[in-house]
C-alpha cells in the first residue's frame, strides 16, 4: 500500500484533532461546517418560522441539517409553518428528514430549471451557498472557477430571492473578490464579510452576508 504524503498525514491529524469535528461527531451533525452557519445565522437572527431556504452546494448536508432543525425549533415542532429547506449539490447526499434534495450540477440549465420548478413560483427568503469547485491547487485555475460559481449563485438570488431577503455565500479571497463584493453592495442594503470561528485560519475562505435585498433587478455596468 502506498504511504501517505506528509501533507496528507498532517491534514488527517489536524482534522481529527479539530474541536469542531469532535463536536459535530458528538452532536450527530454531518459536518463541522454546521458551526460556521450557526455562528453566522444566530449573530444576525436570520431564520424565522415559515421561511423558504435554498442551500446550494449542500452535500454532505451539514448546513441543511442544521437549518431544518432550527426551523423546526422555531415553529415549535410544526405548530407554526415549518417552512421549506431545498438543498442542491452535484454530489449525492443521504436523505435528511424535511429537506428536499435535488441532485445535479448547478451550472447546467436543466438543473436550475428543476430547482425553479420545485419552488413553484414562490420567492425565497434565504439563499445559502457553500459551493466550491474541486481544487487543482493552481490559483489561476481554482479562483476563476470559484468566482464563476459565486456569480451563478448571485444570479439565482437576483431572480428568486424576495425583496428584503438574505444571501449568504462562501467566497475565496483573490482575483474577482473585490468586484463581487461591490456588486453585492449594489443589490443589498447591508453587506458584511465574516470569517466564523469554525473556518480554519489558513483557509482563504470568508463569508459574505448580504441582507435586505433591494427591489428590482440591479443595473449592471456597460
From the list 13, 122, 170, 213, the catalytic residue is 170
Domain 8-213 has CATH 3.40.50.720: no
Looking at every residue in the chain, the average pLDDT score rounds to: 86
Q: Does residue 21 register a pLDDT over 60?
A: no
pLDDT tens-place string over residues 51-85: 999 999 999 999 999 999 999 999 987 778 999 99
Peptide bond into 60 cis (omega under 30): yes
Active site residue 170: yes
Q: Among residues of the chain, what percentage have pLDDT more than 90?
A: 64
Exposure b/e, 60-75, CB count within 10 A at least 16 = b: bbbbbbbbbbbbbebb
At 121 the pLDDT is 93
pLDDT tens-place string over residues 172-190: 999 999 999 999 999 999 9
At 68 the pLDDT is 95
Task: Using pLDDT thresholds of 50, 70 and 90, give the confidence band for residue 218.
Answer: low
d(CA 23, CA 29): 8
Cβ neighbours of 55 (radius 10 Å)? 31
At 44 the pLDDT is 87
At 80 the pLDDT is 85
Q: How far is CA 168 from CA 90, 131, 188, 191, in A?
A: 19, 11, 11, 10
Q: Name the residue among 84, 107, 106 with its Cα closest to residue 96.
A: 84
Q: Which residues are annotated as a binding site?
A: 61, 63, 89, 105, 130
Task: Tell me the three cell numbers of residue 150.
Answer: 459565486
At 9 the pLDDT is 59
Q: Which residues are annotated as a binding site for S-adenosyl-L-methionine?
A: 61, 63, 89, 105, 130
d(CA 49, CA 72): 8
Amino acid at each position: 500500500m502506498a504511504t501517505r504524503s506528509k501533507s496528507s498525514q498532517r491534514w488527517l491529524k489536524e482534522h481529527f484533532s479539530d474541536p469542531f469535528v469532535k463536536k459535530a461527531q458528538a452532536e450527530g451533525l454531518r459536518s463541522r461546517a454546521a458551526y460556521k452557519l450557526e455562528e453566522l445565522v444566530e449573530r444576525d437572527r436570520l431564520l424565522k418560522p415559515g421561511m423558504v431556504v435554498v442551500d446550494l452546494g449542500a452535500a454532505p448536508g451539514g448546513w441543511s441539517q442544521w437549518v431544518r432543525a432550527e426551523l423546526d425549533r422555531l415553529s415549535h415542532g410544526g405548530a407554526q409553518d415549518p417552512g421549506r429547506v431545498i438543498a442542491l449539490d452535484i454530489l449525492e447526499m443521504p436523505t435528511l428528514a424535511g429537506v428536499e434534495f435535488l441532485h445535479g450540477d448547478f451550472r447546467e440549465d436543466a438543473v436550475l430549471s428543476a430547482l425553479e420548478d420545485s419552488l413553484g413560483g414562490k420567492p425565497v427568503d434565504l439563499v445559502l451557498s457553500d459551493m466550491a469547485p474541486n481544487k487543482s491547487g493552481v490559483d489561476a485555475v481554482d479562483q476563476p472557477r470559484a468566482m464563476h460559481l459565486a456569480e451563478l449563485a448571485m444570479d439565482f438570488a437576483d431572480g428568486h430571492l424576495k425583496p428584503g431577503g438574505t444571501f449568504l455565500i462562501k467566497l475565496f479571497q483573490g482575483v474577482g473578490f473585490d468586484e463581487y463584493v461591490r456588486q453585492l453592495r449594489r443589490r443589498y442594503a447591508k453587506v458584511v464579510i465574516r470569517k466564523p470561528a469554525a473556518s480554519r485560519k489558513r483557509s482563504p475562505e470568508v463569508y459574505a452576508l448580504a441582507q435586505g435585498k433591494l427591489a428590482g433587478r440591479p443595473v449592471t455596468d456597460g
